[in-house]
C-alpha cells in the first residue's frame, strides 16, 4: 500500500519544494556619485519645448539597437533596464558587455528581468551581477530554478506564475528613455539571419523619462522581485570573465555596426534627437500585483486607458498587435461598428508568421466572432515585401521570414496608443504593461499609414466570411479556404488548441 502511495507522496513533496516565494524587503540602493551626462542634459533642455515631451518612433531594429548602444556609451550616472526577455545572443551579449564597460567607468546599472525567460541565460546575468556597480533582480521567480520542479511550479503556483512583468523600459541618467514592444535579442534588432520581428519603440526626452523610472522602480522595489544572488551562485573569477565578455563582444562582426566610442555615440544621438516631435504624451503602466496569488479578474490600468480611447473614437481604429484576442466582453466595446459609425481594422500574425501556435489558437477561437462584429482582419504573410522596408539587413528578407511583434493602436489618426500591450486577454488582465498615449497627428498618421501599407494584399491576407459563412483568406486575387502557407500538422495543432478555453493565459 505504501509503495503504491510513493508516487503521490513524491509529487506532494515536489509541489512543496516548488512552492511560492516569500516577499522580500530590499536593502539600500547603490549610491550614485556622478552627475547626469551634460550632453544629454543640454539635449533634453533644448528639445523639450513648452513643457511638451520630445518623442520619436524607433520603427526599425537598426535604430532601436543603435539608440540603446549609443545611450549606454553616453551615460555617466545610471542606466535602468527592464525587460521581459534578454537573450544571450550576439546583440544581447554586446549590449551586456557595454553595460559592463559603463559600470567600469562608474555608471550604476540596474537590470530587471522577468523570470519566465531567464532559464538557460542565468550564467550571463550572474556574471553581470558580480560587478560592483551592477545589480540584477528577477521579478516573480519560481522557487525551483530548473528541471521538473520548475515546470511543476507552473502548476502549483498557477495564479502567481501567470502574473508576468511584460513591461519594457530603458532609461539613461533619468533624462532619456525608450519604451515599446522590443525585447533584447537579434530578432528584435535586424541581426538575425532568417527571422526578424517587425516592432516599434518610442524614444522620449524630458519628464516622461522620469515616469519610466517610476515604472521601473515600482517593479524594482516590489516584494515579489528577488536579487539574482538569492537564486544563483556567484561565478568564479568574475573579473576575468567580465573582461573576456567585453573583448569577445568587441571582436565580433555585427549586421549593424554599433558606435565605437562616446563621440560617435553622441553624434548619432544628436541626429536622432533632432528628429523628435514635441507632442502631448502620457506614460501609463500597470503596477506589480500586491497579491500575485489572487485571481486576475479586472482589467488593469493600461487596459482601462485603451477602453477609454475606444469609447471616445469617432470614425476609425487601427490595431497592430502580434497577438490578438478579443472576446465577448471586449467586442461589446466596439458595438458601434455595426451601424457604420466606427471602422475597426486589425493587423496580426497569420499562423505562418506567428512564433507561438498556442497564441494563434486563441485568436483563431475568436476570429469568427471578430469578423461577425464587423472588424476587418488582416494576417501578415511570411513573404511580405514590407520586410525590405522594415528590416535593415534586407538579405534576411530574401531567404527568411518576417514576423509581427509590434503593438500599437491608432485612433482617428490623431492619438497613438503604443508600448508593450498586445490587444489580448493576457495584457488586459495578467501582465504588467507599459504604454505611451501620444496626441500627435504626425505620429499617429505615420503609424496609421504604415499599418495600412502592411494590410495591402501583397503583404497580408484579408480574412473574411464567404457566402457560405466559411472562413477564406484572400490576397492578390487568390483565395484559400484554410490557414495558408503552413502544413497540415501545424493547422491541426492550432485547431485542437482553439477548442480549449485557455485564451486568457496565451
The vertex-452 CA angle with 449 and 454, nearest 5°, equals: 110
140 backbone φψ class: left, alpha, beta (φ>0; ψ -120 to 50): left
Is 366 within 8 Å of 500 (Cβ atoms)? no
Q: Which of 166, 192, 360, 378 is catalytic?
A: 166
Write the DSSP string, 177-189.
EEEES--BSGGGT
Which residue, chain included where needed, has cell 565578455? Answer: 245
Say whether 192 is catalytic: no
Is 30 within 8 Å of 235 (Cβ atoms)? no
Is 480 within 8 Å of 473 (Cβ atoms)? yes
Which residue, chain included where needed, has cell 519544494? Answer: 17
The C-alpha cell at 207 is: 519628464
Say whether 405 is catalytic: yes
String of b and e for 221-238 (b: at least 16 CB within 10 Å)? Answer: ebebbbebeebbeeeeeb
Q: Which of 37, 114, 407, 450 is catalytic?
A: 407
Say whether 129 is catalytic: no
Say whether 131 is catalytic: no
3-state class (DSSP) for residue 411: strand
Say whether 241 is catalytic: no
Q: Which of 80, 115, 168, 378 is catalytic?
A: 168
Q: Distance from CA of residue 116 to its chain's centroid? A: 13
402: CB partners within 8 A, 6+ apart: 195, 196, 197, 198, 353, 380, 382, 384, 386, 387, 390, 391
Write the DSSP string, 55-115.
EEEE-SHHHHHHHHHHHHHH-SSEEEEEES-B-SSHHHHHHHHHHHHHHHTT-EEEEEEEG
3-state class (DSSP) for residue 142: coil
Is 433 within 8 Å of 300 (Cβ atoms)? yes
Which residue, chain included where needed, has cell 552627475? Answer: 35
Say whether 332 is catalytic: no
How far apart (Å, rounded) are the C-alpha atoms in residues 46 and 389?
A: 31
* Phi and psi at residue 59, to the nearest 5°: -85, -20
Q: Nearest-CA neighbor of 332 among 307, 309, 313?
A: 307
Q: Annotated active-site positions, please?
A: 166, 168, 173, 405, 407, 412
Amino acid at each position: 500500500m505504501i509503495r503504491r502511495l510513493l508516487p503521490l507522496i513524491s509529487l506532494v513533496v515536489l509541489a512543496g519544494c516548488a512552492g511560492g516565494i516569500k516577499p522580500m524587503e530590499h536593502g539600500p540602493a547603490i549610491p550614485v556619485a556622478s552627475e547626469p551626462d551634460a550632453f544629454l542634459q543640454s539635449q533634453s533642455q533644448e528639445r523639450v519645448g513648452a513643457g511638451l515631451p520630445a518623442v520619436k518612433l524607433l520603427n526599425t531594429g537598426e535604430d532601436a539597437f543603435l539608440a540603446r548602444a549609443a545611450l549606454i556609451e553616453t551615460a555617466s550616472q545610471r542606466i535602468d533596464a527592464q525587460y521581459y526577455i534578454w537573450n544571450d545572443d550576439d546583440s544581447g551579449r554586446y549590449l551586456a558587455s557595454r553595460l559592463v564597460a559603463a559600470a567600469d567607468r562608474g555608471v550604476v546599472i540596474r537590470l530587471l528581468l522577468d523570470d519566465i525567460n531567464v532559464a538557460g541565460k542565468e550564467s550571463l546575468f550572474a556574471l553581470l551581477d558580480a560587478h560592483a556597480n551592477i545589480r540584477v533582480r528577477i521579478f516573480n521567480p519560481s522557487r525551483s530554478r530548473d528541471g521538473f520542479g520548475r515546470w511543476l511550479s507552473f502548476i502549483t503556483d498557477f495564479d502567481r506564475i501567470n502574473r508576468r512583468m511584460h513591461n519594457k523600459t530603458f532609461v539613461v541618467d533619468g533624462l532619456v528613455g525608450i519604451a515599446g514592444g522590443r525585447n533584447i535579442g537579434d530578432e528584435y534588432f535586424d541581426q538575425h539571419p532568417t527571422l526578424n520581428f517587425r516592432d516599434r519603440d518610442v524614444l522620449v526626452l524630458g519628464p516622461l523619462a522620469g515616469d519610466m523610472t517610476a515604472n521601473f522602480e515600482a517593479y524594482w522595489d516590489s516584494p515579489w522581485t528577488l536579487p539574482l544572488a538569492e537564486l544563483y551562485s556567484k561565478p568564479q573569477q568574475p573579473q576575468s570573465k567580465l573582461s573576456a565578455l567585453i573583448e569577445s563582444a568587441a571582436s565580433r562582426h555585427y549586421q549593424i555596426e554599433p558606435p565605437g566610442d562616446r563621440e560617435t555615440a553622441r553624434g548619432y544621438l544628436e541626429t536622432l534627437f533632432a528628429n523628435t516631435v514635441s507632442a502631448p504624451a502620457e506614460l501609463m503602466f500597470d503596477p506589480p500585483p500586491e497579491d500575485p496569488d489572487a485571481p486576475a479578474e479586472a482589467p488593469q490600468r493600461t487596459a482601462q486607458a485603451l477602453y477609454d480611447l475606444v469609447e471616445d473614437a469617432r470614425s476609425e481604429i487601427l490595431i497592430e498587435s502580434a497577438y490578438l484576442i478579443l472576446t465577448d466582453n471586449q467586442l461589446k466595446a466596439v458595438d458601434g461598428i455595426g451601424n457604420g459609425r466606427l471602422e475597426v481594422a486589425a493587423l496580426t500574425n497569420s499562423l505562418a508568421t506567428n512564433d507561438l501556435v498556442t497564441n494563434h489558437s486563441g485568436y483563431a477561437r475568436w476570429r469568427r466572432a471578430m469578423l461577425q462584429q464587423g472588424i476587418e482582419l488582416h494576417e501578415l504573410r511570411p513573404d511580405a515585401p514590407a520586410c525590405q522596408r522594415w528590416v535593415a539587413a534586407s538579405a534576411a528578407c530574401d531567404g527568411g521570414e518576417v514576423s509581427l511583434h509590434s503593438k500599437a493602436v491608432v485612433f482617428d489618426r490623431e492619438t497613438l496608443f503604443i508600448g508593450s500591450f498586445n490587444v489580448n486577454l493576457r495584457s488586459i488582465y495578467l501582465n504588467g504593461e507599459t504604454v505611451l498615449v501620444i496626441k500627435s497627428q504626425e505620429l499617429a498618421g505615420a503609424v496609421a499609414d504604415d499599418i495600412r501599407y502592411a494590410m495591402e494584399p501583397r503583404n497580408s491576407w484579408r480574412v473574411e466570411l464567404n457566402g457560405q459563412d466559411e472562413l477564406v483568406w484572400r490576397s492578390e486575387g487568390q483565395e484559400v479556404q484554410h490557414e495558408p502557407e503552413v502544413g497540415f500538422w501545424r493547422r491541426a495543432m492550432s485547431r485542437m488548441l482553439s477548442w480549449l478555453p485557455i485564451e486568457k493565459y496565451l
